[in-house]
Each structure stands twice: as structure tokens, then as C-alpha cells.
Amino acid sequence: MAHAKEEKTLIILKPDAVHRGLMGEVIGRFEKKGLKVVGMKMVKLEDALLDAHYAHIKDKPFFAGIKRYMTSAPVVVMALSGIGAVAATRLLVGPTKGFEAPAGTIRGDLSLSMQSNIVHASDSVEAGTEEVGRFFGAHELFDYDRNDFGYIYADETF
């Protein structure tokens, strides 16, 4: 079951990841790191959900383009859990601009774009909690222990 130090974070596999057949590779990177997938579904994003999710840029001139892009195909939303999950996912994902992201990161290996950059990842623990709640109902989230938990966090104290 969830450990007290575990955090939840939201990941969105964006339309370019779906179109390019990269879903499995991206999900695999998070799982190989040791993060738990506690919720996952494919959805077609609606305007109201996008307005809420991108409220911080809703008034920017480029927002209409982001909405067109994010509704151009279904996306996969995932709730991930783990100790330090937010920092770990941000490290795996890399900087926003794919052409600036270092090799070895998801964006560095799979993207050259700022908008079509494969994946969204929550940028703080607070945002992760809020975003997971925005995209998932409680009945869509699962609490379980990975069998390899002790190996993933061998040096952590609980």
C-alpha cells in the first residue's frame, strides 16, 4: 500500500506520442525508473478540461494553438506514484523545448519541438495532487505495492 512519503504526479502522453506510436516506450521509461502507474486511461480532451488545466496560459495568444494540438488526437493520462515522483518524472522528461533537452531524457531522445514535446509532467507536488484530481476520480486510482519496492528504495527509511 502507499507509503507516507509517496507523491502522485500527472503525466499526459500528448497527441504526438500517440500519433508516433511512442506510448509504450514512454510508459516503459517511467516504470523502469520504479514509478507505480496508479491510474491510466486514454481520453479525448474537452475544452473545459483544457481551460482548467492550462488556466495559467489561457489568456496568452498561443493558447488557441495549444488547444487545437491537444484535441487533435486522444491522449493518455497517467497518475504515477512514488517517493520523489514529481522530481523523478521531471528529470526523466527533460526541459520543455525538445531541441534543448539532453540526450537520455524523453524529450531529448524523442522530440525537437516546444509544443509537440511528447509529454506533460506536473511541475510540483501541489500541482501533481491538483492535476491528478482533475483528470481522475478516486475510483480510477489504485493503491498497491510494487513487488520490487524494497529494491527501488533500498536506502530510504520509512
Greatest distance between any 2 Cα atoms in the chain: 48
Strand pairing class (75-83; 6-13): antiparallel
- Eight-state DSSP code of residue 1: -
Sign of CA dihedral 107, 112, 114, 115: negative
To the query of whether residue 120 is one of the catalytic residues in this protein, the response is yes
CA distances from 142 to 40, 77, 97, 136, 153 (A): 10, 14, 32, 11, 20
Among 3, 19, 53, 120, the one annotated catalytic: 120
Q: What is the 3-state secondary structure (H, E, C) of 102-116?
A: CCCCHHHHHCCCCCC
Residues in Cβ contact with 34 at an 8 Å cutoff, skipping those fewer than 6 apart: 82, 88, 146, 148, 152, 153
Q: Which three cell numbers stand for residue 94?
A: 527533460
Which residues are annotated as catalytic?
120
